[in-house]
Structure 1
Amino acid sequence: MVQAWETEFGAEGGLFRRLRAEAATDWQAYTWHDFVRRLSDGTLPLAAFRDFLIQDYLFLIHFARAQALAVFKAESLAAMRQKSGSIAAILEETALHLGYCAEWGIAEATVRATPESAETVSYTRYVIDRGLAGDILDLEVALAPCTVGYGEVALRILADPNRMLQGNPYQSWIEAYAAPAYQALARGAAARIDALGESHGGSARFPLLAATFGEAARLEQRFWQQGLDAAG
Structure 2
Amino acid sequence: MSLSAQLWSDNSDLAADVLAHPFVRGMADGTLPRERFAAYIAQDAFFLESFARAYALALARSQDTATLLALADLIAGVREELGLHSSYAASWGIDVGGVQPLAATSAYTEFLLATAATQDVGVIYAAMTPCMRLYAWLGQSLDPDHAGPYAQWVQTYADPEFENIARLLEGLLDDQADDTPAVRSAYRRAMHLELGFFEAAISA
TM-score by length of 1: 0.80
Q: Can you list the C-alpha shifts for 1:55-97, whole angstroms capped at 9, x where unaligned? A: 0111111111011011022231221122123334434543552
Counterpart residue number, 2:198: 224
Letter of the 1:170 partner, please give it: Y
- Look up the SS of the partner of 1:74 in the other structure: coil
Counterpart residue number, 2:112: 127
CA positional deviation for 1:153: 0.7
Change (3 A) 1:91 1:157: closer
Letter of the 1:66 partner, please give it: A
CA positional deviation for 1:101: 1.2
Q: Where do 1:137-176 residues align within 5 Å?
A: 137-158=122-143, 165=145, 168-176=148-156
Matched, 1:34 2:22: yes
Q: Would you say how many aligned residue pairs link Structure 1 and Structure 2?
A: 204
Task: Indicate if the aligned counterparts of 1:73 and 1:135 stay in contact, CA closer than 8 A.
Answer: no
Q: Can you list the C-alpha shifts for 1:30-60, whole angstroms capped at 9, x where unaligned? A: 3442221221111211111011000011111
Q: Can you list the C-alpha shifts for 1:113-138, whole angstroms capped at 9, x where unaligned? A: 22111111110110121222211111
Distance 1:95 1:157 in 2: 21
CA positional deviation for 1:221: 0.6
Using CA pairs under 8 Å that are at least 6 residues apart, name the structure with larger relative contact order, 1 or 2: 1
Instruction: Name the % identity.
Output: 29
Distance 2:11 2:81 in 1: 29
Q: CA RMSD in A?
A: 1.9
Change (3 A) 1:191 1:228: same
Name whichever structure is richer in helix by fraction: 2
Q: Which runs of 5+ in 1 are unaligned?
A: 1-12, 159-163
Task: Indicate if the aligned counterparts of 2:104 and 2:197 stay in contact, CA closer than 8 A.
Answer: yes
Distance 1:229 1:31 in 2: 17
Q: Where do 1:45-60 residues align within 5 Å?
A: 45-60=33-48
Task: Indicate if the aligned counterparts of 1:70 and 1:131 stay in contact, CA closer than 8 A.
Answer: yes
Instruction: Compare 83-92 and 37-46 and name the one that shifted more.
Output: 83-92
Task: Indicate if the aligned counterparts of 1:147 and 1:186 stay in contact, CA closer than 8 A.
Answer: yes
Task: Indicate if the aligned counterparts of 2:126 and 2:187 stay in contact, CA closer than 8 A.
Answer: yes
Q: Can you list the C-alpha shifts for 1:177-231, whole angstroms capped at 9, x where unaligned? A: 111211211222223322223xxxx13x1x221111111001001111111113x
Counterpart residue number, 2:91: 103
Q: Which runs of 5+ in 2 are unaligned?
A: none
Counterpart residue number, 1:188: 168
